[in-house]
A and B are shown apart, each in its own frame.
Chain A
Amino acid sequence: MNKRKIGNEGEQLACDYLIANGFAIEMRNHYTPYGEIDLIGLKDGTLYFIEVKFRRTNSYGSARESLNYKKKKSMRASAIHYLKNKTNIYIPFKISYLGITLNDGLNEFDFIESIFE
């Protein structure tokens, strides 16, 4: 099993979770010159650019901790790049985080609506 596969597995879990919570998935694995956006979802007229983190263990730090300043900066740049190229009108948007941690065989979901607050 390679990293891509693990990533896909995590993103599939994330998609299921988001759809169950009323999101419509617009796009998966969108690449921009500034980096990758894992998921783009739409809910109540707001676009959500979602970074998905999947962890089997917390031995190497929690999933939340892995989101550093550099990653936040590149996510913002990617989101703006997407908005400029794909949309003509202003759509309210949020840059979000979804952490999934495997805990005793159960997936724990940790969704933060906006990481810039």
Chain B
Amino acid sequence: MYSKVKSAVVVGLKGSVIEIETQISRGMPYHVIVGLPSQVIRESKDRVKSALKESGIRFPDDRITQNMFPAHLKKEGAHLDLPIAMGIMCCIIEPKVDLQGIGFIGELSLEGRIRPVTGVLSLVEGFIEDGLRQIVMPRQNLPEVGGIKDIEVYAFDNLNDLVRAVEFGEMSPASIEEETVKRSVGHQIDFNEVIGQNHAIRAIEISAVGNHNLLMVGPPGCGKTMIAERLRTVLPPLTPEKQLESAKVYSLLGERSTENERPFLAPHHSITRAAMIGGTNALIPGIVTRAHNGVLFLDEILEFKNEVLQSLREPISNSSVLLTRNHQSVEYPCDFQLIATMNPCPCGNHMAKDLNCSCNDFEIKRYLNKLSGAILDRFDMLVLMDRVELKDVSEKNRFFDSKGISSRILKALELKRQLESSGIEIEMNSEASSILMRYYNSGKLSMRGHSKLLEIAKSIALLEGTETINRKCLSEAIAYQGFHRLKQNL
């Protein structure tokens, strides 16, 4: 007795279709699964046996040999319970449906229930790439595939129903109701709670338009963290394609991403390199991949371990990270915007207007040197912040609110889309280019810095709603290039 069913496994973020062959021959009771199964799959033998018995199928007291093709690929995940059970079942009963056109995924409980699995989006994508359009999956996973077109999904709650459907050839596709997870109401914060620091808020606004990496430097308690945290209230929504990318990452981790909200990740500074970049033997994605299409916020960046910061170099510039362990490599996307805060010196008061810094030059230098030139170079914008003056506090100088900033950002992005679709490049007028020339010749700008400066100036122009970079835009962009000032006079 022989049968063949199809399933898939996840390699990195991609799904890869596998075949499960089952052969049952007369012999003493024996069940073996070959084809590089992981421990989870070896354990699934017992789940499958119990689930089949509970579903009213006589589990064969014979020699069962199951092979997973291709043999070289490591098979991981409890979602192979269902295809393994189907393989055995289809040897016993005569299936009335064409098994070669169906992909099976699902975890089984001992009583025969089909439990939800992780990584559904990647698996389904693997099926589609292989030309499989019919997919049997746990009912609880149904909402996740709502955004995918051109597939027929059969959702089941328990093995018994599935067995009956396959035996009598009565499978009807489930209608997919797209269940949207509402925006989490947890953050009721707003930019209008910030007093003063208008230039920093403006910088955040610009960085959100062009996804520029931003570093905020200032004394303790001046509002760096407060402003950075409020960035999530003004982030533009994800486009459908990017939403799918993010959903795949979160599906792999067994979580649901929320609607079209961009991820905002703020790891504690004690984080390890493996947690940040991803890794371990199972090659799980790290924080940088979770922050894909969103924001990675490093509060007190100097407190992070040096190896963690250094390992961020390639992810920042490449927008993807290639992990290699145990003879296999996977590539995870990590296109994030980096926002970081730090103090200018150990006591925090260096460069503050009316506070005395108790650190000597050497201490400050040593403190700032923790942030290597390579990492510093990856920040596009620097904002120096100072204590808010008392008169601002009393006047309750609240100039910005999240709603206004958000609508300005959306307008700028809309203009960007329009310009891109009509093929118009943002040009610089002659006055601005002469300023840029002079600034470049003063030696403060590298070639890389030059192109970054232009990007920032473009973002500012978009916010202003103009198609040319004028003097004002350029001057403002230059104002965010204060990296040399950090180590000035030391």
Q: How far is the CA of A65 from the CA of B26 in the complex (A)?
A: 14
Q: Is the CB of B61 within 8 A of A64?
A: yes
Provide the residues of chain A in CB contact with B29, threshold 8 Å: 64-65
Q: Is the CB of B28 within 8 A of A115?
A: yes
Cβ of B373 within 8 Å of any chain A Cβ, yes or no, is no
Give the shortest distance, in Å, between A70 (CB) and chain B (any CB).
Answer: 13
Q: How far is the CA of A65 from the CA of B49 in the complex (A)?
A: 14
Q: Is the CB of A67 within 8 A of B61?
A: no
Provide the residues of chain A in CB contact with B61, threshold 8 Å: 62, 64-65
- A101-117 vs B, Cβ < 8 Å mask (1 yes, 0 no): 00000000000101101
Cβ of B27 within 8 Å of any chain A Cβ, yes or no, is yes
Provide the residues of chain B in CB contact with A112, threshold 8 Å: 26-28
Provide the residues of chain A in CB contact with B27, threshold 8 Å: 112, 114-115, 117
Which residue on chain A has the smallest CB distance to residue B62? A64
Cβ of B63 within 8 Å of any chain A Cβ, yes or no, is yes
Which residue on chain B has the smallest CB distance to residue A115? B28
Which residue on chain B has the smallest CB distance to residue A65? B29
Q: How far is the CA of A61 from the CA of B362 in the complex (A)?
A: 81
Cβ of A49 within 8 Å of any chain B Cβ, yes or no, is no
Cβ of A48 within 8 Å of any chain B Cβ, yes or no, is no
Q: How far is the CA of A87 from the CA of B170 in the complex (A)?
A: 61
Most buried by A among B28, B29, B61, B63: B28
- B42-79 vs A, Cβ < 8 Å mask (1 yes, 0 no): 00000000000000000001010000000000000000
Docked complex: A74-97 residues within 8 A CB-CB of B: 97
Q: How far is the CA of A115 from the CA of B28 in the complex (A)?
A: 6
- A25-36 vs B, Cβ < 8 Å mask (1 yes, 0 no): 000000000000
Which residue on chain A has the smallest CB distance to residue B25? A117
Which residue on chain B has the smallest CB distance to residue A97? B28
Give the shortest distance, in Å, between A65 (CB) and chain B (any CB).
Answer: 6
Which residue on chain B has the smallest CB distance to residue A63? B61
Provide the residues of chain B in CB contact with A117, threshold 8 Å: 27, 63
Q: How far is the CA of A64 from the CA of B26 in the complex (A)?
A: 11
Q: How far is the CA of A65 from the CA of B61 in the complex (A)?
A: 8
10 nearest A-B residue pairs (beta carbon): A64-B61, A115-B28, A64-B29, A62-B61, A117-B27, A112-B27, A67-B28, A112-B26, A65-B29, A64-B28
A-B contact pairs, 17 of them (CB 8 A): A62-B61, A64-B28, A64-B29, A64-B61, A65-B29, A65-B61, A67-B28, A72-B28, A97-B28, A112-B26, A112-B27, A112-B28, A114-B27, A115-B27, A115-B28, A117-B27, A117-B63
Known: A97-B28, A112-B27, A112-B28. 7 other contacts (CB 8 A): A64-B28, A65-B61, A67-B28, A72-B28, A112-B26, A114-B27, A115-B27
